[in-house]
Amino acid sequence: MATITTKDGTRIFFKDWGAKDAQPIVFSHGWPLSADAWDAQMVFFAAHGFRTIAHDRRSHGRSDQVWDNNNMDQYADDLAELITALDLKDAILVGHSTGGGEVTRYVGRHGTDRVAKIALIGAVPPLMLKTEANPGGLPLEVFDGIRKGTFDNRSQFFKDLTIPFYGYNRPGAVVSEGIREGFWLQGMMGGLKGQLDSIRAFSESDFHADLKRFDKPTLVLHGDDDQIVPIGASALATAKLVPHAELKVYAGADHGLTQTHQDRFNADLLAFIKG
């Protein structure tokens, strides 16, 4: 397996597909998944002439399961170490859900010298948690429920989570048991401690200051029926904070739209990258 070892000794697994001299696209996955969530996009974009890279976040997938440092700053620093280790330049950063937070915090902490464009897909910025300053966010009780479900019986919780994640509880939805089982498998590869820590990372991290550092073309893409990361306090707010951001809303789409709307999403991301 291809890995890098970070400054704190954590091994991070990554995939690196396509021509090594092509423009790189770096994909950051959501919770509690792994780089495998991006396989279809990696194959699609590699076939279109790009170098495609995706890593397993620390304590997720095939990366080391660590007790400490499962937080958004460290996730961003791990991404920076990967980009530096592979000497990526003119990169397109694509982050889904928690991965969108990782990409955003990367820009906040490391800038955009190696970045050409950014795409935030169903992403958690600017802040998921409801506070006095963020009344449109979700109450802390929602995330406490995710913590409890993950701790008590994460295998069952991950299976149940696929229903709202992919909008399978909506009238007329065509349920894919394969997609559900793939989600469960990726989730069960990760470490419980890191996954629990990550809930705080994706729900309580405030990305307002990070978004103010965005100075590259940015795509903000979200489903307006996202039951995991509601669009109002996320994509709609982010699009107002990032200068000249391109906001694309999929009517009726769910949180897992990179799979449920795979062909449309791939085409739209390709158009943004080439535009």
Rounded to an integer, what is the distance from CA 268 to the centroid of its chain?
A: 17
Task: Give the active site residue among 29, 60, 96, 255.
Answer: 255
Cα 81 to Cα 87, 142, 160: the distances in Å are: 9, 33, 35
Task: Give the active site residue among 36, 77, 210, 226.
Answer: 226
What gap in Å lies between CA 224 and CA 242, rounded to an integer? Answer: 19
Task: Give the active site residue among 34, 59, 63, 97.
Answer: 97
Is 42 within 8 Å of 15 (Cβ atoms)? yes
Q: Is 28 a catalytic residue?
A: no
Closest by CA position to 119, among listed 8, 263, 239, 204: 239
Cα 110 to Cα 56, 93, 124: the distances in Å are: 20, 13, 19
Which neighbouring-strand residues pair with 223? 250
Q: Is 255 a catalytic residue?
A: yes
Calculate helix-pair angle for 192-204, 98-110, nearest 10 degrees: 70
Catalytic residue positions, numbered = 97, 226, 255
